[in-house]
Amino acid sequence: MPSTKKPSEKKSTKRPASVPVFQSVKGMSDVLPKEEGWWKAFHEAGMRTAELHDFHLIETPILEPADLFEKGVGASTDIVEKQMYTFRTKGGDRVALRPEGTASVMRAYLEHHLGYFASPLKVFYEGPMFRYERPQAGRERQFHQWGFEVIGDGDPVYDAEVILATMALFKELKSGPLVVKINSIGCKVCRASYREKLKNYYRAREKKLCKDCTRRLEKNPFRLMDCEEEDCKALREEAPIILDYLCQSCNTHFKSVLELVEENGIPYEPDPYLVRGLDYYNRTVFEVWSPSAGSALAGGGRYDYLAEILMGRLVPAVGAAIGIERAISFLKGAMPTPPRKEPVRVFFAAVGDQAKKASLRRMEELRRAGVPVVEALGKRSLKGQLKVADRLKVPLALILGQKEVFEGSVIVRDMVTGAQETALLDRFVEVVKKRLR
């Protein structure tokens, strides 16, 4: 008689052709749990620095009116010309995903009359920014920035304080030696004559300029100073420098900033060719450089004309921004092992339905008392749960079974020696805290 057994069928592991494989949008990366240590370390360093330097939190929307950046950042900048994500809403408003934080902070300052809150206003922000550019190491289309801003006072002491706060944040991260590259780009008065000198210099060498610099020469010759094309970089070395054209007021301001930086022991290098890529900057501009990485980790400067550009009001201000991904990438090179959070010292195991139901409430009692707890309640056996405790190297385990629920007790086990004792549930938190001392 032939066998009635059906031949065994192998389960296919192939994904059906109709099921899409979703991936993140190009240039927009996930922050994964394995990177938690780096991100948490940066955030905590930033919060400590902000508190010590008396900066208050400000958070602005990711979407802003597109012309806020077109007017504030500058129509001829790379951000506005090439990198902004702009679109119209269903109501017809033209908006942009914010490409940087300073213009948004100034908009909030003016809109909400924050000068009445404090003068000067000292704020910090943290959040995602968006620029459409070629993704590369430390530079994504969605990236995160931490920024410090001081709005409402033109005293050079605040230029120095922003630099100090930025350096202090990196010091909290034990980032190693850093240097501040610093320059002055003058004001409306002294920039005019320098602008003409710069134009004349580059016009005589226009054939050697890249396409972008040729286009920018008449509109914004300052942008030629930060071009990364090799021919343009070579021309820059012989270009006139603005320090020779500063008015008395700008010269005095810059000298004061340098004196304050030097007095506070900050390593710095004057860089007469340093400019920033945004139109709103004036006077002090700076970058925080890592000599070992050969790149800038942060940058900023004074932007006294931004409020005037946006709403016709002259409000002096100075700030700095740190690219968080770039900073973390640098820190990974300096410290290959990520900073670890405090290890959890208590593991809670429960066996049986009644014990599992009771366990959540008991774990919350511990957490309310400031004792972090981990668990593996999805594993049904006690053996499976304690294997997790061993892997996590947790020194203390609390075991709750059906018997313990009935008796109102819990087993406290030393995971190193295997010794255990029974504690009453109405005082087990006290017992645990005593064992953890």
Give me the DSSP letters along 279-323. Answer: TT-EEEEEEEEETTTTEEEEEEEE-TTHHHHHHS----EEEEEEE
12 pLDDT more than 70? no
Nearest-angstrom CA–CA distance, 424 and 302: 63
Q: In this predicted structure, what is the pLDDT of residue 15?
A: 59
**Residue 1 confidence (pLDDT) above 50:** no
In 3D space, the residue among 411, 423, 422, 429 whose CA is nearest the CA of residue 362 turns out to be 429
Could you give the strand order of the β-sheet that contains 282-290, starting from the edge strand earlier in sequence?
56-57, 121-130, 142-151, 317-323, 295-302, 282-290, 179-184, 268-270
CB atoms within 10 A of CB 200: 11
Confidence at residue 14, expressed as pLDDT on a 0 to 100 scale: 61
* pLDDT of res. 166: 95
**Mean pLDDT confidence for 222-249:** 83
Spatial CB neighbours of 412, under 8 Å, sequence gap ≥ 6: 396, 397, 398, 420, 421, 422, 423, 428, 431, 432, 435
**Residue matched to tokens 């009453």:** 424
pTM for the full model?
0.82
Cα distance between residue 353 and residue 132, in whole Å: 53
Q: Is residue 54 pLDDT above 90, yes or no?
A: yes
pLDDT > 70 fraction of the chain, expressed in percent and rounded? 91
CA-to-CA dists, residue 1 to 4, 5, 220, 318, angstroms: 9, 12, 93, 92
SS3 335: coil
Average the pLDDT over each of 2-6, 272-276, 361-365, 428-432 and give the range with the smallest value.
2-6
* pLDDT greater than 90 at residue 31: no
Predicted confidence (pLDDT) per residue in 333-363, tens digit = 766 676 666 777 899 999 988 888 888 889 8
Sign of the Cα torsion 360, 366, 369, 370 reads negative
Q: How far apart are CA 84 and CA 104, in angstroms?
A: 14
Question: What sections of 138-184 are H helices per DSSP?
Answer: 156-172
Query: What is the C-alpha to C-alpha distance for residues 380 and 279, in angstroms, rounded to an integer?
Result: 63
- Listed by start position, the domains of the chain span 33-187+247-334, 346-436
Greater model confidence, 332 or 346: 346
Q: Which helix (H) or strand (E) is 128 found in, with range? A: strand 121-130
| CA 169 to chain CA centroid, nearest Å | 11
Residue type, 89: T
Dihedral angle, C-alpha 93, 98, 101, 104, nearest 10 °: 0
Mean pLDDT of 174-197: 87
Q: In the prediction, which pLDDT does 78 show?
A: 67
Nearest alpha-carbon partner for 415 in 366, 354, 329, 347: 347
| 95 three-state secondary structure | strand
The structural architecture, per CATH, of the domain 346-436 is: 3-Layer(aba) Sandwich (3.40)
- What is the reported pLDDT for 16? 62
Exposure of 342 in the CB half-sphere (CA atoms within 13 A): 7
pLDDT at 2 over 60: no
CA distance 344 to 391: 12
Q: Which CATH architecture has domain 33-187+247-334?
A: 2-Layer Sandwich (3.30)
